Amino acid sequence: MATITSVKDLEALTLTVTAEFEGTTVERLWQLWADREQLQRWWGPPGWPATFTRHDFRVPGTSIYFMQGPEGDRAYGWWHFLEAVEPSRLRIEDGFGDAEGNVDPQMPPPGEMIVDFEPTGSGARFSIRSQFTSLEQLQKMIEMGQEEGMTQALGQIDAILAEDAPAA
């Protein structure tokens, strides 16, 4: 079972969510991000599954996705890959947008997400550090459920990793 923690740093304007997994490797966790099919299985929180209509996992690459709610409403987002050091770090500009990946000016401005992958004594972990441009932006994203949604989304990874386990 994953151990998931989150830390808000109001001074540094960051929200960091860390997920640690037993019995896996940083290379395996990297694949959860690199492979569109796997990413779609966990990126959206339960009840808001993600569909990546584009996933160009390279620098400079772009991903476009939407999360669809239980009533059919869609929330679109996009990523621009700024750095990818396999299997240790991703740096991504992320924002809200439309189906074509255009910035949604009615939503909070784009931010930066840094994902660091590290081995542990019994497995591996990754930390997602969201960097905000202002305290207002950080607070707005918390109000919109980013921390809770991210924690719930990461909780879905255990099922994907369990498929790797050898049959008993």
The answer to the question of residue 122 being in a domain is yes
pTM score: 0.94
What is the CATH number for 43?
3.30.530.20
The answer to the question of residue 54 being in a domain is yes
| pLDDT value of residue 99 | 92
| pLDDT value of residue 166 | 66
Cα–Cα dist 121/117, whole Å:
14
Cβ contact 103:84 at 8 Å: no
| pLDDT value of residue 1 | 78
| pLDDT value of residue 164 | 83
The answer to the question of residue 156 being in a domain is no
The answer to the question of residue 59 being in a domain is yes
- The structural domain count of the chain equals 1
Instruction: Find the domain containing 73 and state its range.
Output: 7-15+29-138
Cα–Cα dist 88/26, whole Å:
7
- Encode pLDDT of 147-165 as tens digits: 999 999 999 999 999 998 7
Token pair of 6 as six digits: 């989150």
| pLDDT value of residue 167 | 58
| Average pLDDT rounded to a whole number, residues 72-85 | 96
Number of Cβ atoms within 10 Å of the Cβ of 166:
4
Q: In whole angstroms, how far apart are CA 131 and each of 12, 113, 114, 127, 168?
A: 8, 6, 8, 12, 43
The answer to the question of residue 78 being in a domain is yes
Q: Which residue has the tokens 């923690």?
A: 5
- Encode pLDDT of 20-74 as tens digits: 999 999 999 999 999 999 999 999 999 999 999 999 999 999 999 999 999 999 9
* Percent with pLDDT over 90 in the chain: 91
- The closest of 166, 167, 163, 161 to 27, measured between CA atoms, is 161
Cα–Cα dist 161/1, whole Å:
10
The answer to the question of residue 154 being in a domain is no
- Neighbouring-strand partners of residue 29: none
